[in-house]
Amino acid sequence: MTTTAISAEPVVIELGDDYADIRESVRRICADFPGSYWRNLDEKQGYPSEFVAALTDAGYLGALIPEEYGGSGLPLRAASVILEEIHASGCNAGACHAQMYIMGTLLRHGSEEQKRKYLPDIASGRLRLQAFGVTEPTTGSDTTQIRTRAERVGDTYVINGQKVWTSRALYSDLMLLLARTTPADQVKRKTDGISVFLVDLREARGNGVDIRPIRAMINHNTTEVFIENLVVPAENLIGEEGKGFRYILDGMNAERILCASEAIGDARWFIRTASAYANERVVFGRPIGQNQGIQFPIARAYAETRAAEMMVRKAAARFQAGADCGEDANIAKLLASEAAWHAAEACMQTHGGFGYAAEYDVERKWRECRVMQIAPISSNLILSYIGQHVLGMPRSF
């Protein structure tokens, strides 16, 4: 009989303990951007220019860009740690995660010429690539039904259509745009005939592109983009014409892992804030945290966060190893967004009426955290992925 040696040193994974140097450095940057900074932006629906500049200067926005193009060439887990710490510090990484995953499509599928032209400037912060135009007024979850149309005319494409919820389009130099190059009724598979374009918004605004802000529940600088006879050079097509849906899909696992990391960061912020308040607030002559009705929801959210965080690490590790990580990335996103929401609810309830006071930041973080169950993919669509692709049940739509 053979025996397998069991290491005397168990692998202990603690919440928020890997990449300690990066975490510490991100926390230091975030300390300069306290709640008042975000509350002020929230009120004005402003863009966090100073915060984005600070992270860019520290090299964090180019974390995933390979060194040969001027970035830091870090693994996905490092990027996920950066975003987690930003959210755990009470800040918001909307502008940062977008740049990290949008850039991935250019990195994986762009030509060498496109990469040399754009990536070094994105890494240095001279160019912002933070807008991704996928969703349309009539098309959300079912991306294949997009109506924005790009037609080849000589060495250009002429694009017409409309996008909605295109976040940061007013603050980004470049936008990745998804459009149909072959009508849906002329393709074999509905995922065929969709292409990705890199649109230079500096030239396009007023020349075929009109961007209007949407007043939303959270400050995400989100917009509607109206596109009328926009002329884009054919050299701005990413990869091959008609294969764009696939390009977008393979960036989605990275996106889910990064968003899940932000949710873990939010959950940590809510749990820390709720526990502190529960210890300090005295009602009926004792700290409210002494009541199980207050203590248990916080404890449960903590347990859920620990479990979700292990899935995030597993998904990131499989992504990095080049293994299929669809199941893990989806589960990580589902569990992390739910853990964060339960932590948000516990934190809100713990604060009683003060949870509604803007200066506590609880209501802002609570609003911000809720969107993770809807965008970039809703929980139902993840459950249908698990039902169909993991458990082999019939497609539900």
Ligand X SMILES: Cc1cc2nc3c(=O)[nH]c(=O)nc-3n(C[C@H](O)[C@H](O)[C@H](O)COP(=O)(O)OP(=O)(O)OC[C@H]3O[C@@H](n4cnc5c(N)ncnc54)[C@H](O)[C@@H]3O)c2cc1C
Residue choice 349, 384, 386, 388 for contact with ligand X (CB under 6 A)? 384
Which span (280-288, 295-303, 353-361, 374-382) binds ligand X, by CB under 6 A?
Answer: 374-382
The 81-120 site mask, x for binding ligand X (CB under 6 A), equals ----------------------------------------
Q: Which residue is nearest to ligand X (CB)?
A: 140
User: How many residues bind ligand X, per CB under 6 A?
Assistant: 24
Nearer to ligand X, 177 or 288 (CB): 177
Residues 278, 276: Cα–Cα separation, whole Å? 5
Binding of ligand X by 282 (CB under 6 A): no
| 133 contacts: CB under 8 Å, gap ≥ 6 | 148, 163, 166, 169, 175, 176, 177, 178, 199, 225
Residues 366, 333: Cα–Cα separation, whole Å? 17
What does the DSSP 8-state code read for residue 139?
A: B
Scan for tokens 């597993």, then name that residue.
314
Cα R_g (the chain), whole angstroms: 22
Alpha helices in 281-291 (DSSP H): none
Which span (183-191, 273-281, 341-349, 369-377) binds ligand X, by CB under 6 A?
Answer: 369-377
Binding of ligand X by 156 (CB under 6 A): no
Nearer to ligand X, 204 or 346 (CB): 204
Residues 15, 304: Cα–Cα separation, whole Å? 12
Residue choice 27, 375, 387, 388 for contact with ligand X (CB under 6 A)? 375
User: Hey, which residues does 238 pair with through a beta bridge?
Assistant: 196
Nearer to ligand X, 156 or 384 (CB): 384
Residues 84, 99: Cα–Cα separation, whole Å? 15
Burial class (CB in 10 A: 0-12, 13-18, 19+), 90: buried
Residue 193's φ and ψ, nearest 5 degrees, are 80, 15
Footprint of ligand X on 119-138 (CB under 6 A): 132-135
Footprint of ligand X on 166-205 (CB under 6 A): 166-167
Residue choice 158, 187, 310, 381 for contact with ligand X (CB under 6 A)? 381
Shortest gap between Cβ of 210 and ligand X (angstroms)? Answer: 17
Nearer to ligand X, 49 or 141 (CB): 141
CB-CB contact of 195 with 242 (8 Å): yes
Nearer to ligand X, 45 or 156 (CB): 45
Scan for tokens 């955290």, then name that residue.
369
Which span (20-28, 196-204, 302-310, 370-378) binds ligand X, by CB under 6 A?
Answer: 370-378
Nearer to ligand X, 160 or 379 (CB): 379
Footprint of ligand X on 194-253 (CB under 6 A): 216, 218, 220, 222
Nearer to ligand X, 90 or 133 (CB): 133
SS3 224: strand
Residue choice 229, 285, 321, 397 for contact with ligand X (CB under 6 A)? 397
- Cis peptide bond N-terminal to 10, omega within 30: no
Binding of ligand X by 165 (CB under 6 A): yes
Nearer to ligand X, 109 or 313 (CB): 109
Q: How many separate helices (H) and strands (E) can be counted in the chain?
A: 12, 10
Residue choice 144, 349, 378, 388 for contact with ligand X (CB under 6 A)? 378
Nearer to ligand X, 65 or 377 (CB): 377
Binding of ligand X by 333 (CB under 6 A): no
Length of the chain: 397
Shortest gap between Cβ of 175 and ligand X (angstroms)? Answer: 9
| 164 contacts: CB under 8 Å, gap ≥ 6 | 135, 136, 137, 214, 224, 225
SS3 253: helix
Binding of ligand X by 396 (CB under 6 A): yes
Beta strand pairing call for 209-213 and 194-200: unpaired
List interacting residues with ligand X (CB under 6 A).
132-135, 140-141, 165-167, 216, 218, 220, 222, 371, 374-378, 380-381, 384, 396-397
